[in-house]
């Protein structure tokens, strides 16, 4: 996988070094450009007969004739006077067949190929290819000679596992082009498959790979050209997690965040979302986590069956994680790499889910870089542009009608790790001002073994009204109203619980005690879900609706109890029955029996059931 591409001659040199930040000055007429990729040669073209090291860096700021760049590798041995090669390109990723089932680092280096060729650590200064250069792909053309095409149009397809990978006109192309020549057969990613010609007589040979700068959203140029159209997210992303789908939904193509302290269950929750959500492609960006959670994801996904179809979870997944030997600059770049890959598959018309874990580490990487640049700091020393950077990332999610007429979506869910679970810190607050679903994890609920440990009194979703039309058409006209009613029950029940902590049960009336028990019942049987049970781990929407209808009937019924002990006994029994029903398979005699027992028990103590 090592690249032997000949780079141009050096045109700049190092004038200062500070950790992974270097200052450059030109030695030729080539201007230094912001966000340009440069390569530092710390020991010249050759050292002791060994190949030269090319340290990849990105220009962050240009000031007059000098520029400052962040280096994506160790700067040990880099000194003043070392030569620098300018690539003339922005920090980009390779887009083409072979991305799925691959584990990359933050700069799109394939870790498995690196391990096979170099061992478990990437040697410094080695250039690698993101995609396999020798594998042949069966290219099926979808255009003919003389046909007019434009940026984003499909030229042909290749099978990538069970997916149809579209080879498209590069997104950077402008104007109309005509197909001059097209080939059919099996080719490597670097072989020419189509030749295009424009009105000026210019020709372009196209392979199955194109490159795109990660800090630019792919749809941007296409929308300006009038070839694509952003659509309003109007359907929920079905995760099969009751708490999310029913109470705090995320729109398909929408934005959500999962903040919480360490140990509250962020990793488990995002793992289940990535496994069971109704999407085609999943991109996991471990932009800060380097511990056992990432190792577990990498080792388990290739062996876990994909609930949405044949094969394993890894067949539809791309994992981007930073290795422990990479500096913070690569951590900052990884999230842009992941979201660009997500946009690429969205352009093909697929539904993509991007999970970033955790954006707090990404923001901390920005803080370190900003400090070295001596920029004016904002709150808690984060850069003053933290808010706009977070918004710029999340706003790349959305639903897009592509140039070919296909509709794809990119849903982004980011986890945040505020120190001490403090949701008032800058990263969490900036994220809350951007996303429309907030799933706040609670250490208190995690300590009580409530899973998922999402606090329903802290969490919210602004998608209820936006998705109301879908709910009315697919579930019922009163679904959103009933959910709001249950959220209010949880709030009322919490108020009574707090009162009881001061006064004891004797300090509240039987009526209030019933409300508190109803809220606890709702929490125990519906908001909690067993991640280790083969049935309860995933609740399809139809099962959720059936379960919620029964819970709602119990929560809104008027009961006649003669004592608080009778209240406690009744709800304890129904909670036990309900949990067992959650473990029972749909259509089984066990589930039917428990359902009937619950209905009978409710009828025996109901006074005047609510209509």
Going by the annotation, the residues of the binding site are: 260-267
Secondary structure of residue 273 in the 3-state scheme: helix
Q: And the tokens for 230?
A: 């952003």
Tokens of 564: 């608080």
According to DSSP, the residues that pair with 26 across neighbouring strands are 12
Burial class (CB in 10 A: 0-12, 13-18, 19+), 376: exposed
Torsion of the alpha carbons at 179, 181, 183 and 188, rounded to the nearest 10:
-90
Give the chain's largest Cα–Cα span: 92
The Cα-based distances of 365 to 261, 419, 503 in angstroms read 19, 15, 49
Closest CA to 354 of 293, 270, 279, 284: 284
CA pair distance 547, 582, nearest whole angstrom: 8
Cβ-based neighbour number of residue 441 at 10 Å: 26
Residue ranges of the binding site for ATP: 260-267
Dihedral angle of Cα 19, 25, 26, 31, to the nearest 10 degrees: 90
Rounded-to-integer distance, Cα 610 and Cα 290, Å: 52
With b for 16 or more beta-carbon neighbours within 10 A and e for fewer, the 574-604 pattern comes to bbebbbebbebeeeeeebeebbeebeeebee
Query: Within its chain, how far is the Cα of 261 from the centroid?
Result: 19
Please, what sign has the CA dihedral across residues 469, 470, 474, 476?
negative
């Amino acid at each position: 996988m090592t690249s032997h591409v000949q780079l141009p001659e050096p045109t700049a040199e190092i004038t200062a070094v500070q950790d992974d930040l270097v200052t450059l000055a030109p030695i030729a007429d080539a201007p230094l450009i912001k966000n340009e990729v440069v390569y530092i040669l710390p020991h010249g073209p050759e050292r002791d007969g060994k190949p030269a090291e090319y340290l990849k860096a990105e220009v962050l700021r240009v000031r007059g004739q000098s520029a400052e760049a962040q280096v994506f590798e160790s700067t040990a041995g880099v000194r003043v006077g070392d030569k620098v090669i300018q690539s003339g390109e922005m920090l980009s990723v390779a887009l083409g067949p072979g991305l799925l089932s691959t584990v990359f680092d933050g700069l799109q280096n394939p870790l498995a190929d690196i391990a096979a060729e170099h061992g478990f650590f990437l040697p410094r200064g080695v250039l690698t290819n993101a995609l396999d250069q020798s594998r042949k792909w069966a290219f099926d053309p979808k255009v003919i000679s003389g046909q007019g095409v434009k940026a984003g149009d499909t030229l042909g397809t290749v099978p990538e596992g069970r997916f149809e990978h579209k080879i498209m006109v590069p997104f950077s192309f402008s104007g109309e082009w005509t197909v001059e020549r097209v080939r059919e057969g099996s080719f490597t990613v670097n072989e020419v498959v189509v030749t295009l010609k424009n009105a000026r007589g210019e020709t372009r040979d196209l392979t199955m790979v194109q490159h795109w700068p990660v800090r630019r959203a792919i749809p941007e140029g296409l929308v300006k050209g009038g070839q694509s159209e952003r659509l309003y997210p109007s359907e929920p992303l079905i995760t099969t997690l009751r708490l999310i789908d029913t109470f705090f939904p995320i729109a398909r193509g929408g934005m959500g965040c999962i903040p919480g302290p360490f140990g509250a269950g962020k990793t488990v929750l995002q793992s289940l979302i990535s496994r069971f959500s109704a999407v085609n492609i999943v991109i996991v960006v471990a932009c800060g986590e380097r511990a056992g959670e990432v190792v577990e994801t990498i080792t388990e996904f290739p062996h876990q069956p994909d609930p949405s179809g044949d094969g394993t979870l890894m067949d539809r997944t791309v994992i981007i994680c930073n290795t422990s030997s990479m500096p913070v600059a690569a951590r900052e770049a990884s999230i842009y790499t992941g979201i660009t890959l997500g946009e690429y598959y969205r352009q093909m018309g697929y539904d993509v889910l991007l999970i970033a874990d955790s954006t707090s580490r990404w923001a901390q990487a920005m803080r370190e870089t900003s400090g070295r640049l001596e920029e004016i700091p904002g709150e808690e020393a984060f850069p003053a542009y933290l808010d706009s950077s977070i918004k710029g990332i999340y706003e790349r999610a959305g639903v897009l009608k592509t140039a070919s007429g296909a509709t794809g979506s990119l849903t982004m869910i980011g986890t945040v790790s505020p120190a001490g679970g403090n949701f008032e810190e800058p990263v969490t607050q900036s994220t809350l001002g951007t996303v429309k679903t907030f799933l706040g994890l609670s250490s208190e609920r995690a300590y009580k073994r409530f899973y998922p440990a999402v606090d329903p009194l802290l969490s919210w979703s602004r998608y209820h009204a936006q998705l109301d039309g879908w709910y009315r058409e697919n579930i019922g006209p009163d679904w959103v109203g009933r959910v709001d009613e249950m959220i209010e029950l949880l709030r009322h029940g919490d108020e009574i619980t707090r009162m009881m902590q001061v006064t004891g049960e004797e300090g509240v009336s039987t009526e209030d005690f019933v409300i508190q028990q109803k809220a606890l019942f709702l929490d125990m049987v519906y908001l909690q879900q067993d991640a280790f049970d083969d049935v309860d781990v995933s609740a399809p929407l139809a099962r959720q609706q059936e379960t919620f209808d029964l819970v709602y009937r119990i929560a809104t019924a008027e009961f006649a109890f003669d004592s608080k002990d009778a209240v406690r006994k009744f709800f304890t029994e129904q909670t036990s029955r309900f949990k067992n029903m959650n473990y029972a398979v749909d259509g089984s005699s066990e589930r039917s029996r428990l359902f009937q027992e619950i209905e009978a028990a409710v009828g025996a103590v109901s006074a005047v059931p609510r209509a």
